[in-house]
Structure 1
């Protein structure tokens, strides 16, 4: 029997940890223009480097995060933080785009500690409070995404952009020291499955649980359209207003609405069907792009659209996490791995194709791309997956 060791201060520590580490993968977005200028690159090339970070994160999710089901999760988290420090330092010293691209890939791979922390929090939380606990930890994750863009953009406006990564390395080192003393010890002390056996079970879990497939597709769509916007915002601000990385970073602060809403969304996911909450996320994200397409030429239009988009992303994130962490606690890390792999594959492709469509068709091309992706999301959620998810109870008993 597991021993519950989760209190409010522990949940707060987990949320702060998720924020600091996940920030690594988003520092590049507001400074893409600065990187392109320093290395004399086309915007699309820098977009490909940003995609490398997201791809690295996705494959870290697929190959590293499942280890949380077969080894001491506290130990895994501490080791990942050390690797994240090394990756950030490599990005800081990179003298050319090739080494920086390699560092960006490593940053993605080694920054998956929050995705071990999230199922760990869900595992330790009482069943009736799982949505609330996950909502609080995920709000920390969103704070990291939010502040990473702001810090990166503002710092790069008055110092070399590389210093962002040195500051990141110092922050993670400080976090490591705190977690060494405060992070709860994993109550599960023995694991019978080897890494190879565990990895082989992942495709079987995807096949067995339709709700897991549905969540992965939904995460792909919602984070994909989020990154389509954030990867191209700095270029739109340059084109429309003559602004730069500082303003792009400051716009990211508007995501505080999603942070504040996350605990409430978690409670809603405990009280209502998570699938209903996910549908709300799709509707909000679509509404955001309608606002971007019609009113982005006005600052208030950008502000309104960002608030709605971040709310839509957060509705989907919290509700999807709540339903996949309720399937089987023994495979919680693998469920999270599959879901977040789909989530960040969407983010990676959103970053790449967002930049590509910006170069081909400008802002309306970016908005059109997002709408097409959202149409796919609506089809999957409202037409395709309702049929297979209704058979979830049968699948669970097989």
Structure 2
């Protein structure tokens, strides 16, 4: 391993370079076989070798320049995570950088609409994405994907209207309805762009309805509490599954936010352990407090992640990175803990007891979302009365 590292860093000075900390950390890895396999077989190691061969100081722009396709972009992002963890590259606003880079690609493909798309992203998408990240935290991948979808849909909408010879100011509701009818499920996301364009006086008042979402299906109450009891008491389950499942079943947190919980979110004051999911410390039951304290105190994972100190309750396999929500979801599913039904039941249970003004800030929910959960949790006799009337008309009774 040391011989391979010497060859890798031949093109850079032996001391005082930006790679000095990385070279020392890799050389001291407690599992040299992991580093050796990475050096031999990884696309990201080959990319690093090519970048080092230039003899120039490495920058984020150099990595961005290599991401000319999906596979290359994944390799570059993997290497970027390593280099930031080993302090070769400084931290950057990845949310802004990724959205801006995608905008540049879309603008290159649609030069006639580039000015409008750039204004939409600069004055609407980016500020909301940053605000969401600042206020609610969690991973950036979900918010980046949210922006990608809206940029792509806006470009498709403008291109389709231009193909009909319609500049944006001449688009009518009839044109919008015809465009929606072709692929309604994928085109409803254009609503965000159309609303922004009207507010900026680029277009008429056009209506694109919100995409219909099926009502979330929850667990029955007994199953929900049985799963929570299992997570809190069953030592046969992996520790991270028990902890993540308990947070999911008790607080209804999205997996992207659970996976990104920092160790600083767990605090103890006057003998009471609290978990901060948004800005409000939430006192924990003793059983859950012990579980999360055990999770935070467990030994650092081996392999890649052992090279840097972990700031996450759920550390990932990459140094300095937390576990991805996709991996966490698969681990929960493998232990028969359903993500969406569990989250639905937990939020309904909380919304029955807490008003939206408290529920939202406590869990990091948008005020509108908190109000929707409150309405969903409220007792509604409309369905019952309608079912009773239908059965009476059919000559049967319902009690």
TM superposition score normalised by structure 2: 0.24
Higher radius of gyration, 1 or 2: 2
TM superposition score normalised by structure 1: 0.24
Looking at both structures, which has the greater relative contact order when contacts are Cα pairs under 8 Å and sequence separation is at least 6? 1
Between structures 1 and 2, the one with greater helix share: 1
